[in-house]
Structures are given as C-alpha cells and as structure tokens.
Chains A and B, each alone.
Chain A
Amino acid sequence: MSDTKLSRRTFLRYLLGTGAVAAAGGVGVGLAPAAQTALARTDAPKARYALIIDTTKCVGCGACVHACNIRNNLPEGKSYVHIVPKDDRGRQWFLPVQCQHCADAPCARVCPTRATYRHESGVVLINEKLCVGCKYCEVACPYQARTFDEERGVVDKCWLCLDWVSEGKDPACVQSCVLGARIFGRLDDPNSEVAQLVASGKAKPLHPEFGTHPAVLHYIIEGE
C-alpha cells in the first residue's frame, strides 16, 4: 500500500469510504449491544481473524477476564472467558478458555432457531432477537464457552468484540493482557504474526479431537 500512486479516483473512493465508515460509526453510537452486533454483522470487512493464546506466557492473572466482564457489562460471577488451572505432574500452568469460534460449530448446528450462526469472518455470533433460551447450544458446546443470561433469557458468549475488531482495534481481552500472551490479527494477511504462527504449526487449535475445527482461537501450549 505504501508505494501506490494515489490517483484522484482512488483518493475520492477512499474519501467516500471513510465518510461511509464515519457515518456508520455515528449511527452505531448509542445503540444497544444487540444492535451493535447486527451492525458488526453487516459492516464487518470480509476478513478472517485469529486469536492466539500463548500459555507459556499466561500467568493466570485474570486481567482478560476482568476486561471482558467490563466490556460486556457482565454481572458478578459470570464471564465469557474462564481460566482453567492445570497441573501436569506438579507443573502449574493456566489455560484461558472462551468461545473458539469453531468452523463446524455444534452450537450453531443444534440451535433450533438459527439464532447462533457463523459470520463470514469466522466469528460465531448469536442473534439475540431469535434466541428462545433453550440452552441446547450451552449443553452442546464442548468448550463450555456459553452462559445463560437470566435477565434477558438468552444465551451469550465471547463475540470477539467484533465491533471494535471491524474498526481495526483489538478485542478487550487482547488489549488488557500485559504479558503479551494474547496475540490477535488477521489470518488472511500472510505477513501477520498470527498467520505465520498458525502456518508454522506453533499455534494449534485446542482439543482438535472434539472435531469442531476451531477457526479463530489457537493456542501455543508447551511442556504439556
């Protein structure tokens, strides 16, 4: 992009594009989270994302959990990210788990209403207007990534802060991790750190034996 000659037409197009994004942003301000989800659904670029969690760096401090809870306004005792303490023959380590945004997502398959669906970016979302709160998806998710919102009667989970992400920002959990254990980026850009980590095989899906083909979350787990 650096050495592109900016012709007048492209320049105009950029200008128009920026204007459209700004307008969409303006509309987005003050919308309820559900509406923002819908916005993210229609306006997000056709990008593929990856979130890699480096468990060799994670100390289980829970900053990501707190950041997520604040971002999503979750009540006490609920969270989209949980940190599973591990003990492998005396070696302690921590495994942060949240929705893995599976390519073959059982939650989307079992959802009777199509409320749970897979966005073209690979992120699995819930259309809260369709959800009946049957909790079938919660039972069927092998990563235990879903929670039930008693107040609204719907199921919710990590949505990768898709609104921020489509603006080019990182999800809250990634921003909050001071140890750099969370690496976020675009998988469709072969030069990105995440694409290279995934391509090299260093970052792998968690529990591939579940057969759900996690598409967005990958892990670097060493010394297991």
Chain B
Amino acid sequence: MGQTAWGWLIAIYLFLGGLGAGSFLMAAFFELSGWRYRSNFCPVALVGATVSGPLVALGSALLIFDLGAGRMQPWRIFYMFTHFSSVMTWGIWILTIFIPLALVYGFLELMESEAFLKGFVSARAPWLLRNARTYRRWVAAVGGVFAVATAVYTGVLISDVGPAIPLWSQPVLPFVRIPMLPILFLISAVSTGMGLTFDISATIADPEIQRRFRIMDLSHIFLIGLENIAIGLLFISALSAGGAAAESAKLVLYGPLAVVFWIGVVLVGLVFPFVVHAYAIGRGQHSLTSGVGSGVGIVIAGLLLRYMIVYAGIPAAL
C-alpha cells in the first residue's frame, strides 16, 4: 500500500483529535447559543465538554508513543515547540493550549451535575460556582477557537508534505491552492462530534430531546452532503492528477482499501446515517436504536476515514 512511516497510531490520533474537537464544538455551541438552557439537563453540553479533553489527550499520548527518540528521552519533546515553519510545531502549541482548556471545561460542567464535586467546590471555592455560567461561556468561546484549530491542523499536518504524497495535498479544486484534507477533516470532526454527543449520548439520556432539536437531523444531513462532496472532489482530483495520486485513488476505490471505503466510510458513515436521519425527520423523532446506531456508524466511519487516508498515501514515483 502507501507510505510506511506513519501507521495506525497516527490514524487513530488524527481521528481522536477530530472527535475531541468536534465534541467540544457541540458543547460550546449548545452553551453559547443558549440551547442548553432549554431544559435543566443538557446531555450534549455535559458529555461534549467532559469527553473532549480526555479524547484529545489520549490521541496526543498515542502521538508521543509513536515517536522514536522522543519516547525514550521525553525531554526531547520540548524541542518540538521551536520550529514555526513546521505544522507539527503549531500542532504541539494548539494541543498544549486546547487540552487544558477542554479539561477545565469538562470540570466546569461536571462541577454542576456531580453532587460530590458540587459539594466540594461550594465548600472550597464558592465563587467558582456562583459565576459558573460566565466562566463556562468564556472557556467555551476561547476553547471553541482552539477546537477548530485542532480539527483543521490535523488535516494541514498531513497535506503539508506537498509533492511527496500527492493524495494528501490534492487541492480543493484545480487552481485553488487550498488543500482538501483540512476541510474534509473539519467536516468529519464536527459530524463525529455530533454523532457522539447528540446521536449517542442525548438519545440515551433523553430520547425526548430529539423532538426539541430536530435541526440536528437536518445538520447531519447537511454535513453528510458536504462530506460526500469533499470526498468526491478529492478522488476526482486525485484520479485526474494521474501518477501516485491516481494510484492512491485506485487503492481506495477498487484496491485493497475498497472494503474500508465503500462499506466503512460510505455505507456505515454516510448512507446509513443519511437514511436514519431522513427517516427521523419524517417521523419527528429517533428511536433509541436509530439514534445510537447512526451515531456509532458516524464515529466508526470517522476513524476508518483517517485510516484510509493515512494508508492510501502513496509516495510520488521517482
């Protein structure tokens, strides 16, 4: 298959970075739009805020585990903060800022719903509880910017290798020099985040919530459409570019990665959730199975998308 330097650890990292960022964005959106206050309990805000930090931190741990000398001599990791022409240096900075913000956000959410934590905080730092809403909104707003940065940078990281791996650096459109992967990864980050926080958690916590936020079904369908267009354009441009880019596309479309792509990404991650959400719009509500099912499908497909992109990266021919 494609390049061999980066493998599944990197694929999982790219996925977890996107999933964590997307979950944060969902929570922040429910916070800042005021939607979370439509009921006294908002599973999207709670789950989104609490899982995002740990997910991204886990991904970063995998990233460190994939290092050579940096794993054996961890102080070398500090050198990675120093070279700003490298997207990896930006990434390290983004993660260093985003992970603590997300962990703080998770704490602020948990603090109010966990009785134990609430008691602890009100005894030690009552001011924190009094102004919780203000703090939460600030963390959501600032963290939201870094969440977008996290999701986008994972795509910039691998598209910045330029001519070395033509599939990764395919432009959005011919003559538009913006690479497609950062955009595709951002779309996928938001939709996996939605799948995790809304489809899965909200349906389990309170199936009634679906009636209140039917816009989520529409958003899913919109994102699925966008992702379809992005993936379609990526492979059309790869095929028409010829060379290693076209080889990569063939690997995915009818080569060894075809099962991952057609069944994992397309069927499980696009067609099935589309049908489920379209049906839910007609019916006015999800069932527990359809909500959880589509969420799980979207999240799994998000992982397989990263896996497929990483392994389909064929180096330019010499």
Contacts and interface: CB of A to CB of B under 8 A. Distances in A.
Interface of A: 84, 95, 97, 106, 109-115, 128, 130-136, 138-144, 148-150, 152-155, 206-207, 209-212
B6 interface: yes
B80 A113 contact: yes
Contacts of A209: 163
B76 A112 contact: no
A141 B164 contact: yes
Contact of A153 (B69, B80, B89): B69
Nearest to B92: A112
Nearest to B69: A153
Contacts of A154: 68-69
B76 A142 contact: no
Interface residues of B, number: 34
Contacts of A106: 161-162, 164
B79 A130 contact: yes
A109 B86 contact: yes
B5 A139 contact: yes
A193 to B, nearest CB: 25
B72 A112 contact: no
A110 B165 contact: no
B315 interface: yes
B5 A153 contact: no
Interface string B71-112: 110001101111101111100100000000000000000000
B160 A131 contact: no
A140 B160 contact: yes
A172 B158 CA distance: 35
Nearest to B3: A139
Contacts of A112: 79-83, 86, 88-89, 92
8 contacts: A110-B160, A132-B68, A132-B77, A133-B70, A134-B67, A136-B86, A142-B164, A154-B69
Contact of B318 (A131, A138, A144): A144
Contact of A138 (B5, B67, B82, B158): B5
B276 interface: no
Nearest to A149: B68
A113 B162 contact: no
Contacts of B72: 153
A100 to B, nearest CB: 11
Given A112-B88, A142-B316, 8 more contacts: A112-B89, A135-B5, A139-B161, A142-B162, A142-B315, A143-B318, A150-B68, A211-B163
Contacts of A111: 83, 86
Interface in B46-84: 66-72, 76-77, 79-83
Interface of B: 3, 5-6, 66-72, 76-77, 79-83, 85-89, 92, 158, 160-165, 313, 315-316, 318
A207 B68 CA distance: 30
A33 to B, nearest CB: 15
A132 B6 contact: no
B68 A133 contact: yes
A142 B72 CA distance: 28
Given A97-B318, A114-B79, A142 B163 contact: yes
Most chain A beta carbons < 10 A, residue from B77, B80, B81: B80
A204 to B, nearest CB: 15
A168 B315 CA distance: 36
B315 A133 contact: no
Contacts of A140: 160-162, 164
B133 to A, nearest CB: 39
A111 B85 CA distance: 8
B94 to A, nearest CB: 13
A84 B70 CA distance: 32
B318 A132 contact: no
Contact of B79 (A113, A136, A210): A113
Given A97-B318, A114-B83, A133-B71, A139 B88 contact: no
Most buried by B among A111, A115, A142: A142
Contact of B88 (A133, A134, A141, A211): A134
B164 A132 contact: no
Contacts of B69: 128, 131-133, 152-154
A210 B86 contact: no
A112 B318 CA distance: 26
Nearest to B165: A139
B318 A210 contact: no
Contact of B71 (A97, A130, A141, A153): A153
Nearest to B168: A139
Contacts of B3: 139
A55 B65 CA distance: 42
A153 B73 CA distance: 10
B79 A95 contact: no
B68 A95 contact: no
A210 B70 contact: no
